Amino acid sequence: MPALLSIDYLLIAVCTWLAIGLAGLLAPRNMHFISKVLFPLGALVGLGVGITALCFLGDRAETAVLVIGLPTLPFHLRLDNLTAVFALLLGFASVGISVYAAGYFRSGEGTAPGALCLEYHIFLASMLMVLLADDAYAFMVAWESMALSSFLLVTTDHRHEAIRRAGYLYLLIAHIGAISILLAFGVMTSGSGDYTFAGMRTQELSPFWASVAYLLALVGFGAKAGLVPVHVWLPEAHPAAPSPVSAMMSGVMLKTAIYGLLRVSFDLVGTPLWWWGVVAMAVGLVTALFGVLYSTVQSDMKRLLAYSSIENIGLLAVGIGLALVFHSYKMEALAALAMTAVLYHCLAHAGFKSLLFLCTGSVLHATNERSLGKLGGLIHRMPWVAWLALLGVIASAGLPPLSGFVSEWLLLQAFLFSPGLPHSWLNMVVPVAAAVVALVAAMAGFAMVKFYGIIFLGQMREPNLTHAHDAGPWERAGLVWLAALTLLLGVLPSTVIGLIDAATQQMLGTGLADKVREHGWAMLAPISPDRASYQPLVFLATILAALWVGRWLVHRFYHGRVRRSDPWDCGYFFQGPRGQDTADGFSQPIRRIFEPMFRMERHFPTIRDEKPYYSVKVEDHFWYWLYLPAARLVERISGLVIRVQGGRIAVYLLYSFLTLILLLLVARP
C-alpha cells in the first residue's frame, strides 16, 4: 500500500472536521459533550493540519482528483507551497480558537449547540477546501460553503433583529464578491471550457482581458477581505458574531481572500502589468487609512477591532501592490521582500487579532458589556485576560519584539529600497505611500492604547464590574496558545522567513531566505546589515533586563518610603470613575483633525434632559454615498416590476403574445 501524501492527510482533516460537526447532531442539546469533547477534537485536527503544512513546506506540489463533482467536472485539488502557508495559518490559529470555544460557548446562544458545532466545523473544512481547490468549480463550491456556514455562525443569536440584519448584509456582500470571482475565472478560461487552474495557466490572455480578470478578482476577493468600499459588512458582522467566530473570520477567513488574490495575481493570470500594483496600492492605502481612523473613534470594543482588521487588510493590499510593481519591472529581490512582508503579516495578524477578539469575548462574558464607556479597571478582576491581551495590543500596534513589528518593518524596508524604479512617476508616489503607511502604523498604536487603557486600566466605570471574573481554564489555554504564536513570530523572524520562503519562490522565482541565512538566525537583515537590521532576542533581553533592574532599584531604595496622596485634580474636589478620560474623550483630537472623514451626530446636554449628557455618533460616509442610494434605486426598480406583475392571467397572456411578436420581428433567419 503506497504511503499517504501530505494532501491525503489534509483531505482526511477535511473529512474529520465534517464528521465532528455531524457528531454534534447526535446530541444537539448536550453542551458538555459538544464543548468538552467535540471542540477539543476539532482543535487536534487543526494541529494536525498545521503540522502537515509545516512539514510540507519546500516540497514539490501534490495533486488529487475527487470524483464527487459533476459527471464531467470532478474536484481537482492541489497542495503547493502557497497553499501550505495558508493551511499552516488555518491549522495553528484554529487550535487556539477551538480550545477557547470549548470554554466559551454556552447553552442558550440562540442556535442549538449541535447545529453550532456543525456550522463551525463546516466553516473550518470549507476554508481548507478553498486552499486546496485547483479548479474553478471546486473553488466556488468551497467558497460558497464557507460563506454560508459563516453567515449561519454570524447569526447564531438570531433572536435579535440587528444580528439578523448584520448577517444578511454580510451574505449580500459575499455573493457580490462571489459573482465577481466567478466572472474572473470565466475570463481566465478564455472560452476554452477548461475550468482547471492548470488550464488557466496555459491561456495566453491579451493585456486587456488579463487586466479585466485581475480587476474582477480584486473586487471579488476584496469584498471578502474588507477592502474599501466593499468593507461595510465587516464592522457589522464582527460585533454580531460570537467572539470565537469573530476571531476565526478576522484571523483566518479574511486571509483566504488574500490567498485567492495572490493565486490569481501571481499564478493564474500571467505576467502582471505595473499599473495593477498601483491600483492595489491605492486601494490598500485608502483602506488602511480609513480602517485605522475609524478604529480610533469607536466606542464598541468589537467594532474597534473590526475596523482594525480593515486597516490590516489594507496593509496587505499595499504589500501585494508593491510586489506586483517590482515583479512587473523584474526587480525580483525587492518583490520577494514585499511578498515576504505580506505572507508574514498574514501569519502575524491571524495570531494577534484572533487573540484580541477572544479577549473581548472573555470581557463580554464577564461583564455583559461591549461599550468602552462602561468598562475600566478590569486588570484587577481579569489578570489573565489583561496580560495576554497586552501581548496582542503590542503586536497590533506594530511594536517590537512581537509579530506585528516584523511584518510592518519588512514592508517599510521594501518601500525604502524602491527609488530605483524605472518609472519617474512611481519614484515620486512610492515615498508618499510609505509616509501613509507610517501614519497608519502610528494611528494603530493610538487605537490600541485606547482599547487597552479604557478596558483594563484605571477605575471601574460601573459598579457591576466588581463581579467580573477571569477567563476559565479552556479559555486561558486558547489565549496562551495564540499569545505564544504571537511571541514566537516576533522573536524568530529569520526562522519563519526560511519556512515561508518556499511560497515566495513559487510565485516570484526567487526568495529572501538565502539573504537572511547569511547573518544567522538571531539577526534579520533583509538587504544588508549596513542598511537595516533587527535582532529581536537582543531587544527582548534588553527589555527584560531593564524591567528587572527597575524593579530592583525600586525595592532597594524606595520600598516602604512612598508617600501616597490624592492625585492633583485640577482644582476640582470630585474624584472617581467619571473623572477619567472616556472613550469618546480619548479620540476627540482624532475626530477634530480628521473631521471630514467622519459623518458625526452630536448630542449636547440641555436643560430639557432628565440626565444631561454629551454623546457623539460616528457613521460611515459610504452608507450615504453608495449603499443607501443603491438600495433606493433597487426599491424603485422593484416597484416598477411589481406594477408589471399585475396578477391577472389575461395580462400575462398579453405579455407572452407581445414577446412572441417581437421575437418574430427580430430573430429572422
- The mean pLDDT value for 194-204 works out to 88
The yes-or-no verdict on residue 108 having pLDDT over 60 is: no
Identify whether 536 is preceded by a cis peptide bond (ω within 30 of 0).
no
Q: Name the residue with higher pLDDT: 461 or 447.
A: 447
**Integer Cα distance of 37 and 105 in angstroms:** 13
Query: Which of 237, 431, 226, 185 lies closest to 313 in space, CA to CA?
Result: 226
Weakest mean pLDDT among 233-237, 241-245, 252-256, 563-567: 563-567
pLDDT at 562: 65
**Integer Cα distance of 155 and 36 in angstroms:** 23
pLDDT at 42: 95
The yes-or-no verdict on residue 504 having pLDDT over 90 is: yes
pLDDT at 526: 75
Secondary structure (3-state) at 84? helix
Percent of the chain at pLDDT > 90 equals 48
Beta bridge pairs of residue 174: none
572 grid coordinates: 476640582
Burial bucket for residue 588 (CB in 10 Å: 0-12, 13-18, 19+): middle
Q: pTM for the full model?
A: 0.92
- The mean pLDDT value for 112-129 works out to 93
Q: Name the residue with higher pLDDT: 554 or 132.
A: 132
Contacts of 602 (CB under 8 A, 6+ apart): 614, 615, 616, 617
Q: Grade residue 219 by pLDDT with cuts at 50, 70 and 90.
A: very high
| The residue count for the chain | 669
211 grid coordinates: 487586466
If you search the block for the grid coordinates 498574514, which residue do you land on? Answer: 346
452 grid coordinates: 487597552
The yes-or-no verdict on residue 254 having pLDDT over 70 is: yes
Burial bucket for residue 61 (CB in 10 Å: 0-12, 13-18, 19+): middle
For 139, other C-beta atoms within 10 Å of its C-beta total: 24
Number of folded domains that form the chain: 1
Contacts of 142 (CB under 8 A, 6+ apart): 126, 127, 129, 130, 133
Weakest mean pLDDT among 313-322, 402-411, 526-535: 526-535
CA angle in degrees (0–180, nearest 5) for 72-259-243: 110
Secondary structure (3-state) at 525? coil
In a domain, 472, yes or no: no
Contacts of 46 (CB under 8 A, 6+ apart): 90, 91, 92, 93, 94, 95, 98, 124
Percent of the chain at pLDDT > 70 equals 92
The yes-or-no verdict on residue 577 having pLDDT over 80 is: no
The yes-or-no verdict on residue 571 having pLDDT over 60 is: no
pLDDT at 609: 63
Q: What is the DSSP letter of 582?
A: P
**Is there a contact between 77 and 133 (Cβ–Cβ < 8 Å)?**
yes
**Integer Cα distance of 113 and 105 in angstroms:** 8
pLDDT in tens, 605-660: 766 666 666 677 788 888 888 888 888 888 888 888 777 776 677 777 888 888 88
- The mean pLDDT value for 584-593 works out to 83
pLDDT in tens, 343-379: 999 999 999 999 999 999 999 988 988 888 888 888 9
What average pLDDT does the structure give for the chain? 87
pLDDT at 265: 92
- Decide the pairing of beta strands 599-603 and 73-79: unpaired
475 grid coordinates: 479559555
pLDDT at 566: 67
Contacts of 417 (CB under 8 A, 6+ apart): 334, 337, 527, 531
Secondary structure (3-state) at 342? helix
The yes-or-no verdict on residue 452 having pLDDT over 80 is: yes
In a domain, 517, yes or no: no
The yes-or-no verdict on residue 574 having pLDDT over 60 is: no
| Most confidently predicted of 70-74, 589-593, 601-605 | 589-593
Write out the DSSP string of 434-489. Answer: HHHHHHHHHHHHHHHHHHHHHHHSS--SSGGGGG-----HHHHHHHHHHHHHHHHH
- The mean pLDDT value for 563-569 works out to 65
**Is there a contact between 496 and 489 (Cβ–Cβ < 8 Å)?**
yes
- The mean pLDDT value for 564-587 works out to 68
**Is there a contact between 477 and 99 (Cβ–Cβ < 8 Å)?**
yes
**Integer Cα distance of 356 and 482 in angstroms:** 10
Amino acid identity for residue 57 in this structure: L
pLDDT at 531: 73
Q: Grade residue 567 by pLDDT with cuts at 50, 70 and 90.
A: low
Query: Which of 44, 195, 200, 20 lies closest to 114 in space, CA to CA?
Result: 20
For 611, other C-beta atoms within 10 Å of its C-beta total: 5
**Integer Cα distance of 295 and 299 in angstroms:** 9
pLDDT at 48: 95
589 grid coordinates: 483630537
pLDDT at 588: 83
Rounded-to-5 percentages of helix, strand, coil across the chain: 70, 5, 25
Contacts of 581 (CB under 8 A, 6+ apart): none
**Integer Cα distance of 370 and 451 in angstroms:** 12
Amino acid identity for residue 567 in this structure: P
Q: Name the residue with higher pLDDT: 613 or 231.
A: 231
In a domain, 406, yes or no: no
Q: Grade residue 464 by pLDDT with cuts at 50, 70 and 90.
A: confident
**Integer Cα distance of 343 and 315 in angstroms:** 12
pLDDT in tens, 643-658: 777 667 777 788 888 8
Q: What is the separation of C-alpha 69 from the centre of its chain, rounded to a whole number of angstroms?
A: 30
- The mean pLDDT value for 530-545 works out to 80
Q: Grade residue 392 by pLDDT with cuts at 50, 70 and 90.
A: very high
pLDDT in tens, 265-311: 998 998 888 899 999 999 999 999 999 999 999 888 999 999 999 99
Query: Which of 454, 479, 475, 470 lies closest to 382 in space, CA to CA?
Result: 470
* Helix 383-396 vs helix 473-491: crossing angle, to nearest 10: 30
Identify whether 401 is preceded by a cis peptide bond (ω within 30 of 0).
yes
Write out the DSSP string of 192-245. Answer: S---BHHHHHH----HHHHHHHHHHHHHHHHHHHT-TTTTTTHHHHHHHS-HHH
Domain residues for 636? Answer: 627-666
Query: Which of 175, 189, 255 lies closest to 219 in space, CA to CA?
Result: 175
In a domain, 390, yes or no: no
Secondary structure (3-state) at 387? helix
- Decide the pairing of beta strands 73-79 and 62-70: antiparallel
